[in-house]
Amino acid sequence: MNKKILALLITSLSLLLVLLVFPLAGNAEGRTVVYLTDGGAGTKDGSSAENAAGSLSEALSLLDLTQDCTVVVCGPVFLWDEWDYGVDYTGSVTFTSVYDKVDWRSVNDAGLNFMFINFVLRGATNFEYIKFNCVSGTGGVHINCGFNPLTIGYGVEVSGDQLTGLSDSKSIFIVGGYQQGRGDYAEGVSSTEKNVDIKCYSGTNILINVWSRGTMNEEYTGEANVVIGGDANIGSIFVAGLKTQNSMYGKTNITVEGNATVQNIYSSASVTATVQALNVNWYGGSLLSCLDNLREDENVVTYTEGKNLFASAAAKATENYSAVAAFFTSEKEVTAPETTPHTPPVIEVTQTEPPVTEPPVSDTKPDDETKPDETTEPASSGTTPSGDVTTSGTSSPSEPSSSPVMLIVGIVAVVVIAAVVVVIVIAKKKKK
């Protein structure tokens, strides 16, 4: 057999095997946009609304997650079970229903429909111009950041008659740090230097648990930065976590600006904890209440560097400023930073017809539902709930779906291997 031909065949085979061993799916093309609807449509390769991917895991598997990516939710997506992609990524993912001048919310009833589940983040995540519909009559959804940055951008619509934003079981409940049993949380981790980064510019019935939930005897030495702006309406913010014991937290910075509303800031929610410092920057919007305890029988959280309020003149002129200021150990009037305010992007929308292939829509619930941990609803304005928290077990992460591209590569590789074997056998027989 000609040695040059054999060398060429071996080189080609090696290149194919490299592609097969390192399954980058759509990543090989640097793909950063994918369309998604429940059940998928057409070829389901995510290249357009007519060929939308059929699940969140399938959609993410088609992206190059080392880059800033966009998932266009172009139809209803129902999330009945715990969701965790199971693989960390270094880029970011933006979920939106407005893309390329089309608003799929009005065109095809697009949105994320939650059934009171845990939604685990594996990298920086943004939601904007999208519907959050909490379809269960008993709760909202738990977004477990795991110290990954989260932005609730402009245009997020929240629906669900049961939602209040005052308890974790009836809210868009955001956990900035770890949730016990979810994501990368490992029992017995003594410390972490990771930071919390949460920004909210729209949405209602949101509750933010700044640090972690359900963790014990841990030390968090990073810094937490929470920004509430735009027209967001936050029911409550828990500074020192929820259902945590004997833990230490780093500096915690909360900024209220724009036209946002924060109904309650609480130090404690079923915790024993120490916080380095709480710094609240009140530049605009409404801050209605700041209290040490969610319930009267709870321990007061210790702040080693105090609870410090930095308020603009506009904030100090509000009717409830004195009541809020009484919560803090120090207060100071400041001028809001002279920075360009975070404003909604200008998005041109042209209505179009829905895709030719209608995505299937299920209005039935599964027999078995896995729910997040629950607390009962406060008796009145969020200051005196009547129940406690229970802790559930660990959910299994979802495996990313295989890409059709990799299937084709695999088939080609097998064919080439077979061809090489045949050629070598023939060559040996001729030598004999």
What's the CA gap between 331 and 307, in Å, rounded? 9
**Collapsed DSSP state (helix, strand, coil) of residue 258:** coil
Report yes or no on 385 lying in a domain: yes
pLDDT at 116 over 70: yes
Examine the domain organization and report whether 36 and 19 are in the same domain: no
pLDDT at 422 over 60: no
Q: What token pair was written down for 388?
A: 């406690």
**Collapsed DSSP state (helix, strand, coil) of residue 315:** helix
Examine the domain organization and report whether 135 and 5 are in the same domain: no
Domain containing 419: what range? 1-23+407-432
3-state helix, strand, coil split of the chain in percent (to 5) is: 20, 30, 50
Instruction: Look at the chain and report how many structural domains it folds into.
Output: 2
- Residue-wise pLDDT for 190-218, tens only, equals 567 899 999 999 999 999 999 988 766 78
Long-range interactions of 86-89: CB distance < 8 A, separation 24+: 86/122, 86/397, 86/398, 86/399, 86/400, 87/122, 87/400, 88/122, 88/123, 88/184, 89/60, 89/65, 89/122, 89/123
- Find the range with the poorest average confidence among 170-174, 274-278, 280-284, 393-397: 393-397
pLDDT at 224 over 80: yes
Examine the domain organization and report whether 214 and 125 are in the same domain: yes
Examine the domain organization and report whether 354 and 428 are in the same domain: no
Which burial class, exposed, middle or buried, applies to 318 when counting CB atoms under 10 A from its CB (0-12, 13-18, 19+)? middle
The answer to whether 97 and 75 are in contact (CB under 8 A) is no
Examine the domain organization and report whether 148 and 5 are in the same domain: no
pLDDT value, residue 429:
57
Under the banding of pLDDT at 50, 70 and 90, the label for residue 405 is very low
pLDDT at 372 over 90: no
pLDDT value, residue 239:
93
Report yes or no on 282 lying in a domain: no
Examine the domain organization and report whether 153 and 210 are in the same domain: yes
Report yes or no on 289 lying in a domain: no
pLDDT value, residue 359:
43
pLDDT value, residue 349:
77
Examine the domain organization and report whether 217 and 263 are in the same domain: yes
DSSP assignment of 104-166 equals HHHHH--EEEE-S-EEE-SSEEEEESEEEEE--SS--EEEE-TT--EEE-TTEEEE-TT--SS
- Find the range with the poorest average confidence among 110-124, 132-146, 153-167, 206-220: 206-220
pLDDT at 71 over 80: yes
Q: What is the per-residue burial (b if ≥16 Cβ within 10 Å, else e) of 377-405?
A: bbeeebbebeeebeebeebebbebbebeb
What's the CA gap between 417 and 9, in Å, rounded? 9
pLDDT value, residue 104:
96
Torsion of CA 143, 149, 155, 158, to 10 degrees: 10
269 closest CA partner among 355, 376, 408: 376
Report yes or no on 127 lying in a domain: yes
Q: What is the DSSP letter of 195?
A: P
Examine the domain organization and report whether 143 and 48 are in the same domain: yes
Examine the domain organization and report whether 264 and 383 are in the same domain: yes
59 phi and psi, to 5 degrees?
-60, -45
- Residue-wise pLDDT for 91-113, tens only, equals 999 999 999 999 999 999 999 99
What percentage of the chain has pLDDT greater than the value 70? 66
Question: Chain-centre distance of CA 324, in angstroms?
Answer: 30
The answer to whether 216 and 189 are in contact (CB under 8 A) is no
Examine the domain organization and report whether 123 and 53 are in the same domain: yes
Report yes or no on 179 lying in a domain: yes
Under the banding of pLDDT at 50, 70 and 90, the label for residue 355 is low
pLDDT value, residue 61:
95
112 closest CA partner among 151, 155, 56: 56
Report yes or no on 137 lying in a domain: yes
Report yes or no on 169 lying in a domain: yes
What's the CA gap between 338 and 181, in Å, rounded? 42
HEC string for 51-65: HCECCHHHHHHCCCC
Q: What token pair was written down for 371?
A: 């729910």
**Collapsed DSSP state (helix, strand, coil) of residue 405:** helix
292 closest CA partner among 328, 250, 333: 328
Q: Would strands 286-287 and 261-268 be described as parallel, antiparallel, or unpaired?
A: parallel
Examine the domain organization and report whether 216 and 193 are in the same domain: yes
- Find the range with the poorest average confidence among 53-62, 69-78, 273-282, 379-388: 379-388
Q: Which residue has the higher pLDDT, 132 or 295?
A: 132
| Neighbouring-strand partners of residue 330 | 308
**What is each CA distance from 386 to 86, 238, 254, in whole angstroms?**
35, 17, 27
Examine the domain organization and report whether 18 and 127 are in the same domain: no
Report yes or no on 288 lying in a domain: no
